[in-house]
Amino acid sequence: MPYIRQMKRKSGCDYVISRRGNAVSIRSYQRTFARILKKLNVKHLGFHALRHTFATRAIENGMDIKTLADIMGHKSPAITLSTYAHSLAPHKKSMMNKLGKILADGRPVMRKTK
């Protein structure tokens, strides 16, 4: 974040990275991304893969779906869920294992009501 803040100050405009005060085109980012991957000998999966990586990591780290949908520009959280639901599978497994440990320890999961 300190590096990004420094870049923002240097840009002198509303964009973190700019070209003469204007936003840099997406194609410019895509070309730069492709060159970096080639230089690092990393398989090119497409620039859009970064978007999927961001969404997956956000879900894995507990970001709620509504917030993620807003950030991703989706009209509804349902679109986000249908696109990134695969990311929830490891979390579901973890939660089921946690519940299994509670049951194995003999702790009550539900309380009796009067």
Strand runs labelled E in the chain:
18-19, 22-23
Do 57 and 40 share a structural domain?
no
Domain for residue 114, yes or no? no
To the question of pTM greater than 0.75 for the whole model, the response is no
Do 74 and 40 share a structural domain?
no
- Summarize pLDDT for 33-81 with one digit per residue, the tens: 889 889 999 988 887 888 888 998 898 888 999 999 999 999 999 999 8
Do 55 and 39 share a structural domain?
no
Highest-confidence segment of 20-24, 56-60, 82-86, 91-95: 56-60
Q: 76: domain range? A: 48-108
Domain for residue 5, yes or no? yes
Do 36 and 52 share a structural domain?
no
Do 41 and 26 share a structural domain?
yes
60: left (phi over 0), alpha (psi -120 to 50) or beta: alpha
Do 25 and 3 share a structural domain?
yes
